[in-house]
Structure 1
Amino acid sequence: MTIRRHAEEARLSGAVAGGGLLHLAGQVADDALFERGEADAEAQTADILAQIDALLAEAGTDKRRLLSVTVVLADIADAPAMNRAWDRWLDPAAKPARMTIEARLVDPRWKVEITGVALLP
């Protein structure tokens, strides 16, 4: 089985493809979002989903092939804001299984982290 790594960084790969699946690392908002002062949960979610779209495209797949997604919120009270961005992005004909949980995130500026698994073509 061939394993392909995408968007490699010092400690991790942004996504890893193998066995017909693409595993996304936890994606968080880009630093530029904080520099622009646009860092609420809705804006962070939209930014993360754009990053996920890019990783999926790089691997040759797209959001319609997402099997499961885990959304981690630093504060569960941000769920409505996260869902506004999610609902704008979601293809209603191809909804993945999703879990949303609350947990402390590594950087206190982060309100949202999203990971998932997609099927490769």
Structure 2
Amino acid sequence: MAVTSGMGIMRLAPEARLSGATIGAGCIWLAGQVADDSSLDTEGQTADILAQIDALLAEAGTDKRALLSVTIVLTDIKEAPAMNRAWDRWLDPAHKPARMTIQAPLVDRAWRVEITGVALAPPP
């Protein structure tokens, strides 16, 4: 579901505290996405999140090739190889976004990965 404000900002997948993505000023800002199934391992959670990102970008009228930058938060940086296995399967090698990966605690201890990013919005 998309909600458009009078300011020309479109909000996708609105929830109680946030929107899954916000579109305005020619860009799409993705909220921090976490796995729907927190029982998965790091690789599985990453694949789950990347599928969510695909869905949000499709709802916005684009795809992962439009990603400009991505920030990945891992609760344990030693899990980077597992995260990268899912990332590498998903990534379009001709359209790699800038990327940063950091370690930090997440709100829910079951979450191992959170991913956010910015993509170029399609022309109106």
Give the alignment's TM-score, normalised by structure 2. 0.92
Q: Which portions of structure 1, spanning 4 or more consecutive aligned residues, are displaced by more than 6 angstroms?
A: none
Q: Of 18, 29, 34, which residue of structure 1 is paired with 2:24?
A: 18
- Work out the number of aligned pairs and report it: 116
Hey, which of these two has a bigger chunk of helix by percent?
Answer: 1
C-alpha offsets along residues 12-67 of structure 1, whole Å, 9 cap, x if unaligned? 0000000000000000000xx24xx4x10000000000000000000111100000
Identity, % of aligned positions? 76
In structure 1, distance between residues paired with 2:25 and 2:120: 9
> RMSD between aligned alpha carbons?
0.8
Structure 1 residue runs of 5 or longer lacking an equivalent are none
Give the alignment's TM-score, normalised by structure 1. 0.94
For residue 82 of structure 1, what is the aligned residue in structure 2? 83
Structure 2 residue runs of 5 or longer lacking an equivalent are 1-6
In structure 1, distance between residues paired with 2:107 and 2:80: 19
For residue 70 of structure 2, what is the aligned residue in structure 1? 69
